[in-house]
Structure 1
């Protein structure tokens, strides 16, 4: 979810509770015990989709007793990328279906949540760059199709114009679906080539028919059209066309475009901003199934569930399940990592076949000058675009009762002392998301401005453009507080915001960006990579500006999706795993401009490590020529599933071919990922990896090891020699510890270099000894 939408959802959820207490408003007359269940049957068994649908109806008929009951029960039939269906079932009916031999599992429907200009230049993909730049070599992604699962799209935005684009790719099988205020003949073109919406699963979760509810139209539209803004923002970031004269009230003025401006976009609307809002499991499954059929090359999802604690192909995880089938079809799946940072083990979308993205900042800031009555000046960060205020009174609410008014969230509408003044307050722990309410309170009581002292983060999503609201560091806040306390008549002057770009602004990992280690499979590093996700300017539905700043891993994921589109155009035969490897092994582990360490924002800040950013910040131009890749195919995923404890029959149904796990359970450490994580090193372990040469045919690579503290790593062989006959080589890493006690994680890396290329994988190791009892 982009964080600016979080409060809307909280308020809408309160409304939902009221509605649920009014049974006469419920429009769906289903049995109170019935609920949508997803019946998952693995890979499709019929090339004829009608036969697949018929088989689904037969299963339902056998349990429900009649064809009519089956027709009334089913809401979706999954028949393109995998087999299964979603239907209204009671618990006993779901249990009976789960016991049938062709059924892998049955799970109740549930809701997922959204994660919500300069960035492409920052990433080295400027239109003024030389012809050797990835943007130009890939012809700006022409012909590649990006499928986006989100809140819909605003087709009239200039970001989706089709100027200069050729015909729609002939392999495209999708279409644009009509709906409320959405005419495909006018809305779709050679840029926006597909648009569909999926509402049935969301309706059943709410227990009411949205389309028939007058209140629904106040917040949503039963069509692919976007009323929320999240989907328009993410899709224009990934593949938006050139749109000149874009800005947010004059800030960040310039030409906005997506990462692959000639790529085509297909929108699959699965997320709804009504009542508590969300994205239904069954709708997501159906959308991915349709996208596989339609012919997308990339799936971009800025969506996640709760912090996961289940197996990756677990029946509760619709994104992991459906994306597995997409990846087997050669479709790269890019997902946001979540906005639950800076706390550890919060990263979402943790499957090894998914490319999971953290959020970083870019080299742009919006300084606002704060001038005190004694002529001292400080710089804050803001999006204020109004006039300079002139000198006005500044005040701070000292502690006056049990509620400490120093903290911003404790201000209320009784604080009339703030009238005519600029208010200084401090953010307490966990208060950041409620800041818009604080600003509204200050405005309500007649305040003329707000200065918020907080931990140093770059995020500006909560600062208004029309009201002077400015963020400063805790240190600056303390100096302002001293001035207020010891001045006879404290005054302040607030200037409008400016836009600064350039190297002096270093890269940070955003405080909200979810962190590893992986809570599902600790030996699988997540996130995989970081990309710009702080104060990203992109298109929104029609408004005063048509463009808006948003922050979140929701904004980071489409940056990677756009780069994947360029790589797919340049290297159409690369697998999703090869693309992921190219991105991870060439990422920047330090600031791309200064070489200084990347900082992970938090409380306190720290030097970023692989649990913050995976391989590092995405390096688009490096990824086009990585030299070596850590590739994976169906066999590798089978070994992963075996290592996670899935049996032969479950895996065979999942992949629709005979699968046999080794007699000895494989080690998850040997999954051929472009990273290496050992969560519990007790004795010496040997780990295997295989690299594929995608660089010059005749190449010689040498290993460079930077071991984690107290860890010894030996690589064998230390040199890899490739030629026309040898394109793949396996090697082993023998890892041992010198620690005598259990430690936290320490980090290092392995680089294979031929003097030109440097394929780097992050290494994370924790020594752990069992506790002695008694």
Structure 2
């Protein structure tokens, strides 16, 4: 379909492609395995890349069951961007379109009621079609008042084409379905009750965190309001739960799913929203655990902050039309932080609903934190790349729920499992590897693939559906499972609630276990469950799934911005995962991994900074987080990735968050929202495209343009091309003193490979608080830069005083 439309194909080719993609859409909706056939045949090159990224063998994938809704959504989303939404409209079906229009010159509609605004938006809709059944259906789904100028409506492709002739129309596109990105972590981050950053920030009291997710379990003790003051007077939000459910902790709860802002209470049927909300701002809950492990006092990053839930996701994913409506309402309600553990592929900012909504949010002083995505370890795999958003990658913490595989040759391989059965006999049992003869479906322990493995320990290869593999082993009579990573997973292991005794081990361990199986006629193994182990010197370590830069939408801005805890995170869950008898039956917890988990960590930390510095802008809070980040692990060595090699800058961004340092950064790099306009002009966006983002009239010929790296960002992303112009680049930065009035900072430079740098001045002397000083930075490529096989490198620019160290990471891409 893409080739037929973009490359001048014949009408017959286009008709055939529409039919093929129409069939594909129907198959995706039914969850059928024929999706693999269609994708393989229609887009063979991209299909192979997709297979490599998710770690599947082409032959085995047909039998692999996706037990996580996010996985099938990822396929659905991938397919939708190849034209399936166009195919749906070929038969004149209506679907939800997001429509952008120009803001009226006189804001009479925007100063009146919501009904007046909707009436004005209605004028853009074509006359209703003759079909009486169609005419009776409500067309308007959402009207946007705060974060966007436009609406979402049920339309056909023909009606959209007719709308294009209306004065004030800018653009329209079908809604996108975006996937979700999913006790000890406060201690790991240095947050302790009664001390330091928590006490200084009053545990985030008075700050309202708006969470866009799958809903919330309101009766969980993590959302008790014990010790939490009432929300500030500015709060205007509502609670859609029946009865007195909301309180000083859970101050708002709305349902925007399926275009219904009053479509019933935002009950969490997935668990994801309850988990992320409690990670950001859950209250203190003693005795938190799952399967009796990871026991301790659970708390979110900002335990006394307020939570407002906006349900935009369900089993079928998250509509960006609903997301934009929720952001629109959250801004009007008065939230201080927006936390979105979801996202799609890379899009230009004017075509990215989250980026559009976030821009108005930061204009109103609202900090926006988003997940970077779970599409690593590939480069250029990020979501949520806009520079006004904090883009958060995922890392490990120093706690593991240890389960050690013991082999008959005395080999020992540490792994993890949330399920720690106390009655598992540690006697050696027969060990089998179903894929020993090269059958990939057997090696993956795909559903229905295994024969009788009664009483045996089964070695399964990883990939998606980790718990489902254990279910297959259990169905076939297996006694236990050793789950070994595929190569892409490296040393990242995840503690899951397995249905049988199991351990998840690294790729390297899997190779050695296979070698042992091949070396003897009677391989044996068992699993020793050791419970909670704290003190991993390699933590934090970048998780293999954490999406990597560089940014596609804006390669001149370093992304991700930061990494934070996102592996095996214990937090609230709406139902029990272990069927244990609990003193408080509602105190149920689960351990989940993903950038969905790292995002709310940073959202809560941003709330602490907002509580400590209520006058700071979103850009100032981001600067404080980034310039104080850690680049070394607990062992004092550079942070590593899933290969145990030093992680590159496109995996870590500025580094790992340090909340205590972020509250007192010394200097900040601030950005006025107006500065993003010449930046977007520099991206060659049209005036109308920028207006979609800013909701104001823009003329790039008047405001001018700046290079991406000229934005007053707390990091540098330099691209050295083949032209002579790119060999020497000059930029300026402005820093504001938020430390002691009398402060002197000296320059410390770490210069990237084959580069020269000069900074002027090299000493910054401040005499008062909030004083600003501008400095210039010149980057000069040396002879041979980019011609020696080095594609990119990192460095830093650091300002050091007697009390503070303020670091700006530098990435250099050699695109010669």
TM-score bracket, shorter-length normalisation: 0.7 to 0.9
State the alpha-carbon separation in 1 of the partners of residues 657 and 103 from structure 2. Answer: 33
Q: CA deviation at 1:83?
A: 2.9
Instruction: Say if 1:590 and 1:739 are closer, same or farther in 2 by CA, change over 3 A.
Output: farther
Instruction: Say if 1:627 and 1:553 are closer, same or farther in 2 by CA, change over 3 A.
Output: same
Q: CA deviation at 1:555?
A: 0.1
- Match among 457, 460, 466 for residue 494 of structure 2: 460
Q: Secondary structure of 2:179's match?
A: strand
Instruction: Say if 1:477 and 1:637 are closer, same or farther in 2 by CA, change over 3 A.
Output: closer
User: In the alignment, which residue of structure 1 is the partner of 2:266?
Assistant: 224
Q: CA deviation at 1:698?
A: 2.2
User: In the alignment, which residue of structure 1 is the partner of 2:672?
Assistant: 633
State the alpha-carbon separation in 2 of the partners of residues 43 and 597 from structure 1. Answer: 50
User: In the alignment, which residue of structure 1 is the partner of 2:782?
Assistant: 738
- Match among 433, 444, 448 for residue 408 of structure 1: 444
- Match among 449, 469, 476 for residue 438 of structure 1: 469
CA deviation profile, 1:120-143 (whole Å, cap 9, x unmatched): 100011115x3xx11111100001
Q: Is the 8 A contact 1:518 1:525 kept in 2?
A: yes
State the alpha-carbon separation in 1 of the partners of residues 592 and 451 from structure 2. Answer: 30
Which range moves more in the overlay, 715-724 or 515-524?
Answer: 715-724
Q: Is the 8 A contact 1:152 1:268 kept in 2?
A: yes
Q: Secondary structure of 2:458's match?
A: strand
Instruction: Say if 1:30 and 1:496 are closer, same or farther in 2 by CA, change over 3 A.
Output: same
Q: Secondary structure of 1:237's match?
A: helix
Q: Is the 8 A contact 1:382 1:497 kept in 2?
A: no
After TM superposition, the score normalised by the length of structure 2 is 0.82
Q: Is the 8 A contact 1:202 1:278 kept in 2?
A: no
User: In the alignment, which residue of structure 1 is the partner of 2:731?
Assistant: 687
State the alpha-carbon separation in 2 of the partners of residues 76 and 169 from structure 1. Answer: 28
Q: CA deviation at 1:65?
A: 3.8
Q: Secondary structure of 2:530's match?
A: coil
User: In the alignment, which residue of structure 1 is the partner of 2:119?
Assistant: 57
CA deviation profile, 1:713-755 (whole Å, cap 9, x unmatched): 1011212222249811221111111142534011100001122
State the alpha-carbon separation in 1 of the partners of residues 143 and 507 from structure 2. Answer: 55
User: In the alignment, which residue of structure 2 is the partner of 1:281?
Assistant: 320
Instruction: Say if 1:395 and 1:578 are closer, same or farther in 2 by CA, change over 3 A.
Output: same
Tell whether 2:361 aligns with 1:326: yes
Q: Is the 8 A contact 2:547 2:651 kept in 1?
A: yes
Q: CA deviation at 1:325?
A: 0.8
User: In the alignment, which residue of structure 1 is the partner of 2:795?
Assistant: 748
- Match among 194, 208, 215 for residue 145 of structure 1: 208
Q: Secondary structure of 1:340's match?
A: coil
State the alpha-carbon separation in 2 of the partners of residues 191 and 141 from structure 1. Answer: 11
Q: CA deviation at 1:223?
A: 2.4
Q: Secondary structure of 2:67's match?
A: helix
Task: Map residues 367-406 of structure 1 onto 2, 5 A cutoff.
Answer: 367-373=402-408, 377-386=412-421, 387-397=423-433, 403-404=439-440
User: In the alignment, which residue of structure 1 is the partner of 2:314?
Assistant: 272
Which range moves more in the overlay, 150-159 or 92-101?
Answer: 92-101
Q: CA deviation at 1:647?
A: 4.1
CA deviation profile, 1:372-412 (whole Å, cap 9, x unmatched): 44555443322231123232422233766562577334685
State the alpha-carbon separation in 2 of the partners of residues 242 and 686 from structure 1. Answer: 49
State the alpha-carbon separation in 2 of the partners of residues 397 and 650 from structure 1. Answer: 55
User: In the alignment, which residue of structure 1 is the partner of 2:157?
Assistant: 91
Q: Is the 8 A contact 1:313 1:321 kept in 2?
A: yes
Q: Is the 8 A contact 1:34 1:89 kept in 2?
A: yes
State the alpha-carbon separation in 2 of the partners of residues 510 and 494 from structure 1. Answer: 24
Instruction: Say if 1:66 and 1:403 are closer, same or farther in 2 by CA, change over 3 A.
Output: closer
Which ranges in structure 2 are unaligned for 5 or more consecutive residues? 1-54, 56-64, 78-87, 581-587
Q: CA deviation at 1:503?
A: 4.9
Q: Secondary structure of 2:370's match?
A: strand
CA deviation profile, 1:56-82 (whole Å, cap 9, x unmatched): 423434643489969932121212344
User: In the alignment, which residue of structure 1 is the partner of 2:13?
Assistant: none
CA deviation profile, 1:600-655 (whole Å, cap 9, x unmatched): 11xx4431122101100001011111111111112211121211123446545753
Q: CA deviation at 1:289?
A: 0.4
- Match among 36, 48, 51 for residue 96 of structure 2: 36
Which ranges in structure 1 are unaligned for 5 or more consecutive residues? 18-27, 204-210, 212-220, 770-774
After TM superposition, the score normalised by the length of structure 1 is 0.86
Q: CA deviation at 1:759?
A: 1.0
Q: Is the 8 A contact 2:740 2:769 kept in 1?
A: no
Tell whether 2:397 aligns with 1:335: no
Task: Map residues 183-582 of structure 1 onto 2, 5 A cutoff.
Answer: 183=242, 185-201=243-259, 222-273=264-315, 277-305=316-344, 307-308=345-346, 310-314=347-351, 317-373=352-408, 377-386=412-421, 387-397=423-433, 403-404=439-440, 407-409=443-445, 412-416=448-452, 418-425=453-460, 427=461, 431-454=462-485, 455-462=489-496, 464=498, 466-487=499-520, 489-543=522-576, 544=579, 546-582=588-624
Which range moves more in the overlay, 35-44 or 628-637?
Answer: 35-44
Task: Map residues 704-719 of structure 1 onto 2, 5 A cutoff.
Answer: 704-719=748-763
User: In the alignment, which residue of structure 1 is the partner of 2:80?
Assistant: none
Tell whether 2:811 aligns with 1:764: yes
Q: Secondary structure of 1:523's match?
A: coil
User: In the alignment, which residue of structure 1 is the partner of 2:175?
Assistant: 109
User: In the alignment, which residue of structure 2 is the partner of 1:158?
Assistant: 221
State the alpha-carbon separation in 2 of the partners of residues 404 and 76 from structure 1. Answer: 47
- Match among 616, 625, 635 for residue 655 of structure 2: 616
Q: Secondary structure of 1:495's match?
A: strand
Which range moves more in the overlay, 390-399 or 625-634?
Answer: 390-399
User: In the alignment, which residue of structure 1 is the partner of 2:30?
Assistant: none
State the alpha-carbon separation in 1 of the partners of residues 718 and 321 from structure 2. Answer: 35
Instruction: Say if 1:707 and 1:673 are closer, same or farther in 2 by CA, change over 3 A.
Output: same
State the alpha-carbon separation in 1 of the partners of residues 711 and 314 from structure 2. Answer: 37
Instruction: Say if 1:51 and 1:202 are closer, same or farther in 2 by CA, change over 3 A.
Output: closer
Which range moves more in the overlay, 152-161 or 5-14?
Answer: 5-14
User: In the alignment, which residue of structure 1 is the partner of 2:29?
Assistant: none
Q: CA deviation at 1:13?
A: 7.2
State the alpha-carbon separation in 1 of the partners of residues 655 and 436 from structure 2. Answer: 47
RMSD of aligned residue pairs (Cα, Å): 3.2
State the alpha-carbon separation in 1 of the partners of residues 688 and 481 from structure 2. Answer: 62
Q: Is the 8 A contact 1:345 1:515 kept in 2?
A: yes
